[in-house]
């Protein structure tokens, strides 16, 4: 890996508010625990968690330009500006920080939406971001309990809750989120703990 965890923490701190940095530390700790529990690479989980929100407060227009002109994936901007920091974070981690590990980059890229066929590290970060200790919203305790029993069930629950949240607010749902939910739903065992 091109960047150490200490270097990543220092870099991230410059891009985030104090509250978001605290969230990042919570995601890191949760990702490490989940990685250990489910057999994911702990060093990759730690780095992905540290870097996942690095672009959270970057200029929206700049991020729109990146997804359109650098990534050639304008769909990220069509479903709300809240999603832009994920693909832009992966782009930043690769281009600016030298992260080349595909698993880490995918985990960062899809931590907001999920996707069908998520790898283990992607699931770890997706769930860790959802359940980290600073999170306070209806359903988070159930998600935490599910994460103790089944990473897939926790992913499926988080995806479903996210879609309910967006539907209640009459907001668009990114196709990757729907695809991810459908994939988990079809998968035997993901729903057994709900």
- pLDDT tens by residue, 56-82: 999 999 999 999 999 999 999 999 999
CA dihedral 46, 31, 174, 104 (to 10 degrees): 30
Judged against a pLDDT cut of 90, whether residue 192 lies above it is answered with no
How many residues belong to the chain? 194
DSSP 133: T
Write down the pLDDT at residue 186: 85
Residue 49 near residue 43, CB atoms below 8 Å? no
Token pair listed for 15: 């891009």
Residue 51 contacts residue 8 (beta carbons within 8 Å):
yes
State CA 140 to chain mean position distance.
Answer: 16
Candidates 104, 113, 105, 101; CA nearest to 88 is: 105
Task: Please name which of 151, 142, 138 lies closest in space to residue 34, comparing C-alpha atoms.
Answer: 151
116 vs 94: CA distance, rounded Å = 23
pLDDT in tens, 84-112: 999 999 999 999 999 999 999 999 999 99
Predicted local confidence at residue 190, as pLDDT: 52
Task: Give the contacts of 107 (CB within 8 A, at least 6 positions apart).
Answer: 44, 45, 48, 52, 119, 121, 122, 124, 125, 126
How high is the pLDDT of residue 156?
A: 93
Side-chain-side CA neighbours of 83 within 13 Å: the count stands at: 22
Share of the chain above pLDDT 90, in %: 93
Specify the pTM.
0.95
């Amino acid at each position: 890996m091109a960047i150490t965890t200490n270097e990543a923490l220092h870099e991230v701190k410059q891009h985030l508010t104090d509250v978001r940095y605290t969230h990042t530390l919570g995601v890191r700790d949760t990702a490490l625990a989940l990685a250990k529990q489910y057999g994911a690479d702990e060093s990759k989980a730690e780095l992905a968690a540290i870097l996942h929100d690095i672009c959270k407060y970057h200029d929206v227009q700049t991020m729109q330009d990146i997804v359109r002109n650098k990534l050639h994936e304008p769909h990220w901007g069509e479903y709300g500006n809240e999603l832009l920091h994920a693909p832009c974070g992966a782009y930043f981690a690769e281009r600016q920080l030298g992260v080349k590990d595909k698993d880490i980059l995918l985990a960062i890229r899809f931590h907001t939406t999920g996707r069908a066929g998520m790898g283990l590290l992607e699931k770890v970060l997706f769930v860790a971001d959802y359940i980290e200790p600073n999170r306070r919203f209806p359903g988070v305790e159930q998600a935490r309990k599910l994460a103790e029993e089944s990473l897939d069930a926790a992913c499926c629950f988080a995806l479903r809750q996210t879609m309910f949240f967006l539907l209640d607010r009459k907001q668009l749902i990114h196709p990757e989120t729907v695809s991810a939910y459908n994939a988990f739903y079809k998968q035997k065992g993901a729903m057994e703990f709900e």
